[in-house]
Structure 1
Amino acid sequence: MNYVAAQSGAYLHHLAFESSDPERLAGFYADVMQMDLQQVSDSEWRCEGPARRVVVVKGGDKTLAYAGLAVRDADALEGMRGRAKDCGLEIVPSPSPYLNPGAFGVRDNDGNLICFGLAGKDTVKTMGAPRPHHGGPIWGPLQHLTFASRDLEGFVDFYHRKLGFRMVDRVVREDGSLATVFVTSNHEHHTIACFQTSEAGVDHHSYEAGEWNYIRDWCDHFASRGIQLAWGPGRHGPGHNLFAFIVDPDGNWIEISAELEVIHDRPCEDWPQEPRTLNKWGWARMRS
């Protein structure tokens, strides 16, 4: 299989969420997730921090408006566009304010709008080691997006077979059916993942803290804002990352992750559907 998405080096550059109260939700991300806040219109707000960006627009709570993935260069973008066309996917305009002209969008099996493009020069992701945050925002680039879906096979067909994301791990039930799938478009363990559940939507989105002590700093920061942890600290099986979760005012789950596995060249692995796969350290938030 030609892993076009993986070859493009695509990474999760920004997310846009709908909210019945966009001002409240944007204010939460600005304060709790340490981003600058900008009101663009009566119905759109933008939150921007170091290598993390969230757009909030008027709409229904806990609804993804779109996800923006930035690719390596113009050739990679045209490769993604060509692959989408060859697979019969409808190409739609990208609504993203952070991707350069020429970006495009496609809708996945559940109707989620996924946009690909080149990041604007003023929004290029900062790579490398976490930088000191004394007196400034804590390190935490936007890292991955995890969906919930009734149609996990449809997820695999869209992201893995059609768009060319590389499948790195699967969680498999005793009867052999899939419970969770992790796919990547770069060197990190997963860019997008999906749980099979009774309802479709976003399960959570994640920020990469880099090192374990940065999760400590994030948790201290949440405590200073009166935000309680909803799950964790813990350690996942797939990806081996450490984690802590909070929930925003609309009910969206936010993960702070550290030390996510870097993928070099290994085959896809299967994990059993059991609590210790989700959390090696203790209680697991089982989806199905």
Structure 2
Amino acid sequence: MEHATELQAALHTIHLRSPDPLAMARFYSRAYGMSLDAVAGGYACCGPGRSVQISRGPAKQLGFAQFMLHSDAAWQALRQRVRVPAQAPLPAHCAEGGAGGAGAAVAWRDPDGNLIVFTAPGGGAAPGPDAGLPAAMLQHFALRTPQLPQMLAFYTGQLGLVLSDLVRDPEGRLRACFLRSDPLHHALALFLAPMACFDHLSFEVPDWACMKTWGDHMARLREPIVWGLGRHGPGNDVFFMVRDPDGNLVEISSEIEHCEPGRAVGEWPHEERTLNRWGPAISRG
């Protein structure tokens, strides 16, 4: 049996909509050690390995998610393998990759209308203030959707993400899935929910000691942890989450699974312990 091959891409930038973009930008800058710059239509926050942008719009909606390919070879392979032509204009503040020249970025909209961008390899997220904080790489994001099978088919069958794990309820209905773009367990998680919206973004840190430092940092800022400490079943990562001013969950995570080539798809029961093996979970549906 032929195994799916990862795209060899990593999440580079998350762009969120907000009715109060400045309040959101100030939160991300302060809480996650990032610079804050005004750009046309909104704000950009950057730090080592992490980039978050905010523009005006309804809360809990994704503006776009940008992935950057790891190499020229991976970029060329993406252009050859995707099954649908690029169908959406590039967002104004998408950082185009530097290695592909003209046309070094392409974009599609998923079945819920979320804009997903891929760029050729180039510079990482622009460095900015880190306030002496440990490394924290923007690593994955999650969406809620009322049409989970269609979203899964789009991301795997058309864009080429690889399914790592799925969650089914006792009736066999798909409730969640976790998709990877390189060996890290998931760059995107999808959760069945009544309405389409943004769920969370996650910063991956190197180890437990870094998680403690980030937790102490949140305490100094009086940003309460709303979920965690915990350990997810799919991905096996330890985590805690806070909420941004719009109510989006923001995760600090560590120890996420590194998947071997050809790893079999895992299947988990739809129960609280799947989402948090150590305690309570947040329900999406």
TM-score (norm 2): 0.91
Q: Is 1:212 paired with 2:208? A: yes
Q: Choose 266-275 or 56-65, whichever is displaced more.
A: 56-65
1:263 is matched with 259
**Partner SS state of residue 205, structure 2:** strand
Task: For structure 1, list consecutive stretches of 5 or more residues without a partner in the other structure.
Answer: 126-132
What per-residue deviation string (whole Å, max 9, x for no partner) do you get for residues 189-234 of structure 1?
0011101011111111100012122111111101101110111101
Which position in structure 2 is the counterpart of 1:109? Answer: 111
Paired residues for 1:75-86 under 5 Å: 75-84=73-82, 86=83
2:191 corresponds to which residue? 195
- The aligned residue for residue 9 of structure 2 is 10
* Alignment check: 8 A CA contact 1:94 1:104 kept: no
Question: Tell me, what secondary structure is at the counterpart of 2:177?
Answer: strand
Please state how far the C-alpha of 1:58 moved relative to its aligned partner: 1.8
Q: Does 1:234 align with 2:233?
A: no
Q: Quote the residue 1:128 is aligned against.
A: none
In the alignment, which residue of structure 1 is the partner of 2:280? Answer: 283
TM-score (norm: length of structure 1) = 0.90
Q: Which amino acid aligns with 2:13?
A: H
Provide closer, same or farther for how the CA distance between residues 29 and 256 of structure 1 changes in structure 2, counting only shifts above 3 A: same
| Matched-pair contact (CA < 8 Å) for 2:49–2:124 | no
The structure-2 alpha-carbon separation of the partners of 1:123 and 1:88, relative to structure 1 and needing over 3 Å to count, comes to closer
Where in structure 2 are there 5+ consecutive unaligned residues? none
Distance 1:119 1:73, change over 3 A: closer
Q: Is the 8 A contact 1:50 1:137 kept in 2?
A: no
SS at match of 1:148: strand
Q: 2: CA distance between counterparts of 1:280 and 1:48?
A: 32
Q: CA deviation at 1:89?
A: 5.7
Tell me how far 1:21 sits from its aligned partner.
1.4
Query: Number of aligned pairs?
Result: 276
| Identical-pair percentage | 34
CA contact (8 A) 1:68 1:99 kept: no
Taking the aligned partners of 1:241 and 1:44, their CA distance within structure 2 comes to 33
The answer (yes or no) to whether the contact 2:75–2:121 under 8 Å persists in 1 is no
Deviation, 1:162, is 1.3
Q: 1:47 aligns with which of 29, 45, 48?
A: 45
Letter in structure 1 aligned against 2:38: Q
Matched with 2:26 is 27
- 3-state secondary structure, aligned to 2:234: coil
**CA distance 1:106–1:3, change in 2 (3 Å):** farther
Q: What are the superposed Cα offsets for residues 132-175 of structure 1, whole Å, 9 maximum, x if unpaired?
A: x8x61321100001111001101111111111111110111111
Q: Which secondary structure does the structure 2 equivalent of 1:161 belong to?
A: helix
140-149 or 88-97: which moved more?
Answer: 88-97
Question: Shift in Å at residue 260 of structure 1?
Answer: 0.4
Q: Distance in 1 between matches of 2:241 and 2:181?
A: 24
